[in-house]
Structure 1
Amino acid sequence: VLTAVITLEHQVKPVTVRIYTVLDGTPILTRWLEITNTGDKPMPISACYPWSGVLHTSSDLGRDLYSGAETQHYSIGYMAGDGWGQEGGFEWRSIKNTGVRIDGRYRRARHRHPMFVVRDDVNGEHFIGQFAWSGGYVFEFDYDGSSHKKLSESNLFFRVGMAAPAPLRVISPNETVKTPEVLLGMVCADFDTAVQAMHSHLRKSFFMPQPRGRCGWIEAGIGPEYELTPELVHQAISTAAQFGAEVFFIDASWYSDTGTTWGETVGDWDVGNRFPNGLKEFRDHVHKEGMLWGLWMEPERLGDKSRTIKEHPEYLGVGYEQKEHAGEELDGILDLTNPAIARWMEDQICRVIAEHELDFFRLDANFETGIIQWNKRDGYIENNAWRYYEALYGIFDRVRQRFPNLILENCSGGGGRTDVGMVRRFSHTWVTDWQPAPRSFSITNGMTIALPPEYVDRQLIGTGTSNNVAADIDFQARLCLFGRPSIAGILWPLNAKPNPVLLDRISHMVKLHKEFVRPMIDTGRIYHHTPDVTKPDPEGIGVIEMASWDKTRAIAGIFALARFSQRDFRLRFRGLDAGMSYKVTSDNTGSTFKVDGCELMYNGLDIRLGTALTSELILVEKA
């Protein structure tokens, strides 16, 4: 790993900027700034773009082409949806000479993952970027290529920055602040290669090591979609063990009393009266079944009926539109810019982990994560987000150090905080709270563009995400193979007889993940045969492939989406070796046959699907 540092000293203002660029051997560079106030007075930062300038220039092409309306020089791929339940909708659009701007968590909602891919449609290069930042952000692209210019005279400018009401930060004299990182790289290759380059960089040098030395845990849990009782929790634990879960956790409401809503008393992290004997009996049962034990927590917020908000209203941050957040609905956000309040929150997290002997911790954040709060600082109205996330990142860095074997799951009302700055500190992340078919395909498709598949949670049945309202169970189960599976613990009513067919299909998926997928998932390569699937109910056909790095095994999922009419599809594998021979298995029929890699890659397999919301899974391994 090499680090290059350039120091800039302003000739008018008392400020020094050190530009850090890290190279790790992958095509991706990591960039951040360190800004120092060298004066004797506080200095406000009104705007901050850690990376900006010319992304691409065509000056050396030597081509006599003009960039008029008929010539599309650049396209940008990004997550089109920004609202709840719209995660992962990857879309391409043209970059016109009027420019393109993409916002999230400030001028737009929080469920858009902060990444982009720029494609040079003339020359074939792909640029891929991510912003390791959990607050508001903006990506701006300005194509200087009007119709009178030749392509050889055109340039594409860009900048990646933080977005919030100014000032973003007030720096004291002699203080140095660090910006979030921007990850950016270019490949002279196709889209899949660009995505794999980013995944390789994240795995190699950006994400932190996995606790317990592994990933891909099969999770099960139970949450506030049910009125929790000890009997129901014990049934869920037993059910989870039957289908092969490795982690069991109680989601929101373990701290709430019977008859209350889960969000009303967050902040009071003591066991509710619904569990009069405490939680030890559940932990013991989970461990007896050979699983790891965990709990959910939303530590950054105080519910409007919590004891803590009544005793300490001063813990809350102040919003721009009102005196303070009153804790109503999903407000009540702590002011983590206050070190004492941040320490209190960290103490609550560590107490819950230690007191309940957790193996697994699930974080949630059901609020607008752009942090539209402010504090008075040195005569300025400073936005809280920069200091807030410095504090939050520091808290979970220390939690990881204190509890090195603790599995940490990130969530934010689904995928409201999936940026790599947050995810790097966690074992994996929840990516949505709403995944009925065929939406579930576009979520899996898009979020495995944004993140390596072992970091992407995919769910089968339960916890209020509507993934059981459409399609057969295999459609949803097979999507779980391209991420890390979670399965509800409640599959049938209390004391009812199990559905053996349902249990068999879930167990089949779990077995496939453990034995076939997990050995390759954290080093494998993912291929998006149909990357831009964007409609709220995506149409046509969707295909994802995952292959091991050594090309000895692969899986491909073929999914019939809404308005499906293409009955036959020719599947050509991309991640195999043309010189190897393979055993191929159809999961629909169970039939196997041997075939050469060159046949699978160049001629392909004809896959026939009968109707919408059905699927096929093809497994390939070296013969």
Structure 2
Amino acid sequence: MGITFDTQTKTFHLTAKNTSYIMKVLGEGYLVHQYWGKKIKQYNHANKVRFLDRGFSANPAPATDRTFSLDTLPQEYPGYGNTDFRSPAYQIQLENGSTVTDLRYVSHNIIKGKPKLEGLPATYVVSDDEADTLELILEDQLIGLKVILSYTTFQNYDVITRSVRLENGGDQDLKLLKVASMNVDFQDSEYDLITLYGAHVRERHIERTRLRNGVQSIESRRGTSSHQQNPFMALVRKDTNEDYGDAYGFNFVYSGNFLASVEVDQIFTSRVTVGINPFDFSWLLQPGQTFQAPEVVMVYSSNGLGDMSRTFHKLYRERLCRGEFKEKERPILINNWEATYFDFNEEKIKDLAKKGKDLGMELFVLDDGWFGKRDDDRTSLGDWFVDKNKLPNGLDALASDITETNMEFGLWFEPEMISEKSELFKKHPDWCIHVPNRKLSEGRNQLILDFSRKGVCDEIVAMMTEILSNSPITYVKWDMNRHMTEAGSAALPPERQREVAHRFMLGVYQVMEELTMKFPHILFESCSGGGGRFDPGMLYYMPQTWTSDNTDAISRLKIQYGTSLVYPISSMGSHVSDVPNHQVQRITSLDIRGHVAMSGNLGYELDLTKLSEEEQEIVKEQVNFYKEIRPVIQFGDFYRISSPFEGNETAWTFVSEGKNKAVFAHFKVLDEANMPFITVKLKGLDPNKKYTVVELGESYYGEELMNVGINIPYRQGDFQSVMWRLYAE
């Protein structure tokens, strides 16, 4: 069905897989939201907009009807200043200083497929038959402003994406003060709000709160999407859980400053708005110029949070991630960071790589410290040439020696950063983000390169190309270890200084586009102090992200569980590290560390040469086990069973597409005396198939495992786990 327009009622009906989204043009060109939810075959306006004279809700000119006010109208892209007193989706300042605009519907286009967004990451289609796109053209005729609202409906996913493009067709400069990418006015407020909050080494914890009157919002003002708040929110009905109830998910395909808000108004309707954070933002839009806002992915589920998550997962794996690695099994790696930090030499690296190879690992990653004079974190960022003191034979010789053993070689970069103690800074001190005459703040003893400048971006591309072209590198870990302060650029005039943060992000995207296209054989992994930039914008260029700098297995239960609310398992880097853990000093067994790490893209981050023979055997068994289950883990459907945010247990299941294979994992955190027995009901299986639980040597039908449950072995002690394979007979 796609997208239809009823010319008599001026109603647009958008349909995705099992979803309908309906809006209409009302009166003198006002675009009104009518419905978003389960697919309906025929819409006959059973919930048509009603009007009432409400005190202090003003009436737009010509004010001939006291019952008509934008203040109570459910709108698609509301402004401010002509009777709607709620939060606007956009705000524009004219040359006369005023900020009043009046957008009205002019026309529309229905397009097969999905056009690209210029300079920005976004979901895509492989064939035009997969999706339909509606472009709604709104115009403020007084000033010549055109706003194009884009809606794409996907045939195979319960997904609608939205974005906004502004065109200045007038003869005066416009200053954009706020440009949200979407707005939805729900007709009630009986929802809970779910968000993902956190901090460095404690990312994406789940918070669920009841909607209240006024505005609730999450945002980043840090120059990145941030550890502190992820650019995701969901509205769910109060009885919605993992398996039941309505859920509306919103995810911003952007890696910089964002604002996502929900406003409950005087008559208990709810306005959801998502876009670039207007804080410290403006954009000078001159006559003839265009501004493209990023995309928002909107997912509706009538079957709870689990179904919402699996929709996000499948869409992102198949129609957001790109390149040869999006559906390719990810290698099991050994990273030297927590094994050596900056203190290593060529022989130490070779020893680690050899031991990793002996234990069955497939990729060695050389982390921070290989370049310039990088013996600590106070120097050399920007000097992307090999430190011959550590690697006297050069990077190519080291990489070649390792790859000749049939082990792949990967390398760490932090391209967006610069150290004051660096050759690059001496040569170009104005290339950092800064404000004239202001002292420079530092984070991790470093500054940020001004990626809003093309010359800076070109130089970084050239330096990285030199390294990546001359060594057999198949993996890059792309790090970003500080947030933005003194946001200014030497290359921009005063009236454009508040464009720096967005222009920086556009520059980052352009550099990533060039490098990932130039080196399609390289698997790029995004990192920002771990999970500080875990967002769909990054996944467009890099199909996986280092989930958190916190490698503790128990901490990771919450981090990975929360991350799974929106991001696919194939996007989560997850490593086994040493104990006591370097972040929280907790001591856990290799078993539970392995089971948690195997619930993502498995890697190791410890000194393998110091493992006992017994520990080496355990690691070898884990690696072999993971190679067997890897396709199900990375590309199967993920079902959350027990939440670490709600109790002492965590459980989840991975199920292959045909439901012939599954992997079940259960984790107990703390032990207590005389604990009860634990039985867990699995999810996602075929009720009519009989599954052998390999580790138990017993078989059960899916309906029994899901409805009756299966016993978890009674084990004493803290931090206990099991991971079982289920194969259909």
Q: TM-score, normalised by structure 2?
A: 0.76
Looking at structure 2, the residues matched to 426 and 265 of structure 1 have their Cα atoms a distance apart, in angstroms, of 25
Looking at structure 2, the residues matched to 269 and 282 of structure 1 have their Cα atoms a distance apart, in angstroms, of 16
Looking at structure 2, the residues matched to 243 and 468 of structure 1 have their Cα atoms a distance apart, in angstroms, of 26
Q: How many residues align?
A: 586
What SS is found at the alignment partner of 2:635? coil
| Contact 1:165–1:383 (Cα < 8 Å) also in 2 | no
Q: CA deviation at 1:468?
A: 7.5
Q: CA deviation at 1:378?
A: 6.6
Counterpart selection for 1:599 from 704, 719, 726? 704
Looking at structure 2, the residues matched to 167 and 88 of structure 1 have their Cα atoms a distance apart, in angstroms, of 26
| Structure 2 partner of 1:135 | 256
What SS is found at the alignment partner of 1:526? strand
What SS is found at the alignment partner of 2:322? coil
- CA separation of 1:379 and 1:389: change in aligned 2, threshold 3 A: closer
What SS is found at the alignment partner of 1:158? strand
| Structure 1 partner of 2:617 | 504
| Contact 1:540–1:564 (Cα < 8 Å) also in 2 | no
Looking at structure 1, the residues matched to 341 and 222 of structure 2 have their Cα atoms a distance apart, in angstroms, of 30
| Structure 2 partner of 1:37 | 168
- CA separation of 1:307 and 1:346: change in aligned 2, threshold 3 A: same
Q: CA deviation at 1:417?
A: 0.6
RMSD: 2.5
Q: CA deviation at 1:122?
A: 5.8
Q: CA deviation at 1:488?
A: 2.3
Looking at structure 1, the residues matched to 446 and 606 of structure 2 have their Cα atoms a distance apart, in angstroms, of 30
1:338-384 CA distances to partner (integer Å, 9 max, x unpaired)? 11111111112212211223211110001116994456437343231
Q: CA deviation at 1:395?
A: 1.4
Q: CA deviation at 1:324?
A: 6.2
Q: Does 1:484 align with 2:484?
A: no
Looking at structure 1, the residues matched to 224 and 545 of structure 2 have their Cα atoms a distance apart, in angstroms, of 21
| Structure 2 partner of 1:187 | 301
| Contact 1:256–1:262 (Cα < 8 Å) also in 2 | no
| Contact 1:237–1:489 (Cα < 8 Å) also in 2 | no
| Structure 2 partner of 1:585 | 694
- CA separation of 1:398 and 1:107: change in aligned 2, threshold 3 A: closer
Please tell me the residue identity of whatever aligns with 1:49.
A
What SS is found at the alignment partner of 2:357? helix
Structure 2: unaligned runs, 5 residues or longer:
1-130
Q: CA deviation at 1:169?
A: 2.1
1:79-132 CA distances to partner (integer Å, 9 max, x unpaired)? 121x21111212211112234211234499820321122111268210111111
Looking at structure 2, the residues matched to 324 and 340 of structure 1 have their Cα atoms a distance apart, in angstroms, of 24
| Contact 1:461–1:487 (Cα < 8 Å) also in 2 | yes
Counterpart selection for 1:407 from 513, 523, 526? 523
Q: CA deviation at 1:319?
A: 4.6
Q: CA deviation at 1:466?
A: 3.9
Q: Does 1:120 align with 2:246?
A: no
Q: Does 1:198 align with 2:328?
A: no
| Structure 1 partner of 2:480 | 365
| Structure 1 partner of 2:728 | 622
Please tell me the residue identity of whatever aligns with 1:46.
L
Q: CA deviation at 1:562?
A: 4.3
| Structure 2 partner of 1:51 | 182
Counterpart selection for 2:662 from 551, 554, 565? 554
- CA separation of 1:327 and 1:303: change in aligned 2, threshold 3 A: farther
Please tell me the residue identity of whatever aligns with 1:300.
E
Greater Cα offset, 503-512 or 545-554: 503-512
Q: CA deviation at 1:43?
A: 2.4
Structure 1: unaligned runs, 5 residues or longer:
59-66, 68-72
| Contact 1:256–1:274 (Cα < 8 Å) also in 2 | no
- CA separation of 1:523 and 1:581: change in aligned 2, threshold 3 A: same
Q: Does 1:541 align with 2:623?
A: no
Q: TM-score, normalised by structure 1?
A: 0.88
| Structure 2 partner of 1:447 | 563
1:517-563 CA distances to partner (integer Å, 9 max, x unpaired)? x22244311111234x44xxx85111121111211111121111247
Greater Cα offset, 114-123 or 169-178: 114-123
| Contact 1:293–1:359 (Cα < 8 Å) also in 2 | yes
| Structure 2 partner of 1:612 | 718
1:549-606 CA distances to partner (integer Å, 9 max, x unpaired)? 21111112111124767543221111101100010133xxxx3111111110110012
1:409-465 CA distances to partner (integer Å, 9 max, x unpaired)? 111111111110112111311011013242121112111223110110111115985
Please tell me the residue identity of whatever aligns with 1:358.
I
| Structure 1 partner of 2:639 | 527
| Structure 2 partner of 1:240 | 356
Structure number with higher relative contact order (C-alpha < 8 Å, ≥ 6 residues apart): 1
Counterpart selection for 2:210 from 94, 99, 103? 94
Please tell me the residue identity of whatever aligns with 2:341.
E
What SS is found at the alignment partner of 1:413? coil
Counterpart selection for 1:268 from 378, 383, 394? 383
